[in-house]
Structure 1
Amino acid sequence: MSGTVGQGSRARHPKPNAATDPMRILVLGGTTEASALVARVAAEPGIAATLSLAGRTTAPRPEPVATRIGGFGGAGGLARWLAENGIAAVIDATHPFAARISANAAEACRLGAVPLLAVRRPAWARQPGDDWREVPTVAACVTALGFAPRRVFLTIGRQEVSAFASAPQHAYVVRTIEPVGDALPVPNLVTVSARGPFTLEDETRFMREAGIEVLVTKNSGGAATYPKIEAARRLGLPVVIVARPALPDVPSVPDAAGALLWLKARLTGPR
C-alpha cells in the first residue's frame, strides 16, 4: 500500500503481531539505492515499508510504498517515531554525504534497540587519466579553484552552492532538478534545469557546450552520476572532489539487493 504521509507526520500504528503482521521497516531514502530497494520491498508480502524523504525536492517521484516527508526532530525524535510505529528494522539508504542523518539514525536505533543496516555505495577511485584534487570540505573547494577566473560546473547540491559566493571571479554552472530562479546567492551563476540520469555522451556534450573548465563534485560513488567523472576525464578537465565524511560504524551492504537479503533473513528469524 502506497501513499504520502504529511510533513513531519507522527502517525501511530498499533504494535505489530510478529506472527501475523508484516515486518514494518523504515527506509531513509533520497537515493537511487533507496528507490530500488522500496521497489523490491513492495513486492514482498511479509514486509511493510515506509520511505522517509528529507523534502528537498518539492515533487519527488512517486514510490510504491508509504512515503513520509520531513524531519524527525533529531535522534530522539526518530527513536520515538520508531517506537510509536512498531518499526522492526531501519535501512539507512541516504546520500553518502548525509552524515547528520546517518548519525541520528545510528543513535536512534541504539536508543530503541532497533536493527540498522546502511546501504553504502562504493566510493569512486581515481583512474588513469583522471586529474583530481581531493579536498575535505566544500569550503576547501573554493580555495582549490584558485584566483584565476574559470568556468566551473558545480555538482555538489544546491544547498552548498552559497560557499562559492566568496569567489565571484569564477563563472558557475549549476544543474538542478527543479527551477530555482535567483534563489542561489552566488554572482555570475547560471542554472540549468534537468533531471537525470545522464549518460557519458550527455555529460560530455553538456560540459563541452557550456565551456566548462573544471568540475567540482563530491565523491558520491555509484554508477548513476559517474558519467560526469568519465566526461571530465575524456575532456581532460581537472576535478575538485570532496572526500566522503566519516559515517557511523554500522553493518552495511553496497546495494539494494544486499539490503533485501538482509531483510529476508530477519523475516525468518525472531523480530
Structure 2
Amino acid sequence: MPILLLGGTSEARALAGRLHPHVEVISSLAGRVPDPALPVGRVRIGGFGGVAGLRRWLCENEIDAVVDATHPYAATMTAHAATVCAELGLPHLVLARPPWPPGDAIVVPSDVEAAKTVAAERFERVFLTTGRSGAAAFSAVDAWFLIRAVTSPDTEDLPARHHVVLSRGPYRYDDELALLREHRIDALVTKNSGGAMTRPKLEAAAALGVAVVMVDRPPLPAGVRTVASVEDALDWVKQFRADGGDG
C-alpha cells in the first residue's frame, strides 16, 4: 500500500528520492506552478476537492500513510490532511522545515497586517516576496513595489506603482545584494518560509540595513506529529514500516 506525499517543496522531492524505489510513494502537487520540478516516482497534480474529496481519494487508492511536506503556508491543505487522517486513523506526519530566526524583523500575522505596517512606516521602495496571491493586500499602499513571484500575479490586484520579476530560487547572496541596491529598496516584505533557497535576501537586507517585515507562519493543526528534516521523516517511514503500519 502506497504512501501519499503532499509535496511541492525541495524537502518533498528529496524525501521521494530517498524512499524510491523501496517504498511506493505517490507525490501530490497542487498544480499552481507551471512546469514544476517533479519528484521521482508516481505524481498526481491538482486539488482533491476539499476534505470529502481527499477522504475519498485516500480510500480509493488504499493509502497506507500520509506525509505532509507542503510549503509552510499551505495551511488549508495541511488542515485538511490532518482532519482526514484523524478520521480514518491513518498514520500522518508533517515535515516542517525550521523557520528563520526573525532577528530585527517586524513580525506580523498576515499579508494585510504587513501592508498596514508598510504604510505606517512610510516605506517608499518595497521588495515584495510573499507570492502571487500576497500582492493584493498591498494594492492600496502608496509605495513603489518590486514584486517577485514564480507566476504572474493578477494585474487588477497590484499596487499602482510596481515592477514584476518572475523567477524561481535558489537565489545567490551577491545577486540579491545587487537587486536591492539597483532598485534602492528600503523594506523587504517576506514570509518566514525557512530553508536555504531564499534566505540570501534576508542576508542582503541585513548587510544594507534594509528593514524586514516578516509574515509569521500559520499554526499547525493541534496534535499533529512533526519533524524538521528529511532524515527524520525518512526514519519515521522506516519505523512505520517496521512496525507493520501502526505509525
TM-score of the aligned structures, taking structure 1 as reference length: 0.85
Provide the C-alpha distance between the structure 2 equivalents of 1:184 and 1:144, rounded to a whole number of angstroms. Answer: 19
Runs of 4+ in 1 over 6 A off after TM superposition: none
User: Per the alignment, in what secondary structure is the counterpart of residue 146 of structure 1?
Assistant: helix
User: Per the alignment, in what secondary structure is the counterpart of residue 237 of structure 2?
Assistant: helix
**One-letter code of the match for 1:32?**
S
1:163 to 137, 153, 160: 137
Q: Residue deviations 1:15-35, cap 9 Å, x none?
A: xxxxxxxx4011111111111
Residues 219-230 of structure 1: pairs in structure 2 closer than 5 A: 219-230=192-203
Match of 1:12 in 2: none
CA apart distance, 1:209: 1.4
Q: How many aligned residue pairs are there?
A: 243
- Could you tell me which runs of 5 or more consecutive residues in structure 1 were left unpaired when the two chains were aligned: 1-22
Match of 2:32 in 1: 56
Deviates more, 1:109-118 or 1:60-69: 60-69
**One-letter code of the match for 2:51?**
A
**One-letter code of the match for 1:266?**
F
Match of 1:25 in 2: 3
Provide the C-alpha distance between the structure 2 equivalents of 1:99 and 1:38, rounded to a whole number of angstroms. Answer: 21
Provide the C-alpha distance between the structure 1 equivalents of 2:70 and 2:156, rounded to a whole number of angstroms. Answer: 25
Instruction: Pick closer, same or farther for the CA change 1:183–1:54 going to 2, 3 Å.
Output: farther
Provide the C-alpha distance between the structure 1 equivalents of 2:200 and 2:112, rounded to a whole number of angstroms. Answer: 24
Provide the C-alpha distance between the structure 1 equivalents of 2:165 and 2:154, rounded to a whole number of angstroms. Answer: 10
Match of 1:41 in 2: 19
Q: Residue deviations 1:110-161, cap 9 Å, x none?
A: 111110000011111134xxx3111111100111012535111111111121
User: Per the alignment, in what secondary structure is the counterpart of residue 60 of structure 1?
Assistant: coil
Match of 1:79 in 2: 55
CA apart distance, 1:260: 1.0
Match of 1:5 in 2: none
**One-letter code of the match for 1:165?**
S
- The CA RMSD over aligned residues, in Å, is 1.7
User: Per the alignment, in what secondary structure is the counterpart of residue 159 of structure 1?
Assistant: coil
User: Per the alignment, in what secondary structure is the counterpart of residue 62 of structure 1?
Assistant: coil
Between the aligned residues of both structures, percent identity stands at 42
The reply to whether residue 136 of structure 1 matches residue 109 of structure 2 is yes
Match of 2:88 in 1: 112
- 1:158 and 1:184 in contact (8 A); partners too: no
Provide the C-alpha distance between the structure 1 equivalents of 2:38 and 2:107, rounded to a whole number of angstroms. Answer: 36
Deviates more, 1:107-116 or 1:192-201: 192-201
Match of 1:91 in 2: 67
User: Per the alignment, in what secondary structure is the counterpart of residue 141 of structure 1?
Assistant: helix
CA apart distance, 1:41: 1.6
Instruction: Pick closer, same or farther for the CA change 1:184–1:165 going to 2, 3 Å.
Output: closer
Provide the C-alpha distance between the structure 1 equivalents of 2:107 and 2:61, rounded to a whole number of angstroms. Answer: 42
CA apart distance, 1:182: 4.1
Residues 197-212 of structure 1: pairs in structure 2 closer than 5 A: 197-212=170-185
CA apart distance, 1:183: 6.5
- Could you tell me which runs of 5 or more consecutive residues in structure 2 were left unpaired when the two chains were aligned: none
Instruction: Pick closer, same or farther for the CA change 1:48–1:183 going to 2, 3 Å.
Output: farther
Residues 142-221 of structure 1: pairs in structure 2 closer than 5 A: 142-146=115-119, 148=122, 150-167=124-141, 169-178=142-151, 182=155, 185-221=158-194
Provide the C-alpha distance between the structure 2 equivalents of 1:134 and 1:180, rounded to a whole number of angstroms. Answer: 24
Q: Residue deviations 1:31-84, cap 9 Å, x none?
A: 111111112122x42x11111111111211232121111111112211111111
- 2:14 and 2:230 in contact (8 A); partners too: yes
User: Per the alignment, in what secondary structure is the counterpart of residue 27 of structure 2?
Assistant: strand
Instruction: Pick closer, same or farther for the CA change 1:111–1:38 going to 2, 3 Å.
Output: same
**One-letter code of the match for 1:195?**
R
TM-score of the aligned structures, taking structure 2 as reference length: 0.92
The reply to whether residue 100 of structure 1 matches residue 76 of structure 2 is yes
- 2:65 and 2:92 in contact (8 A); partners too: yes
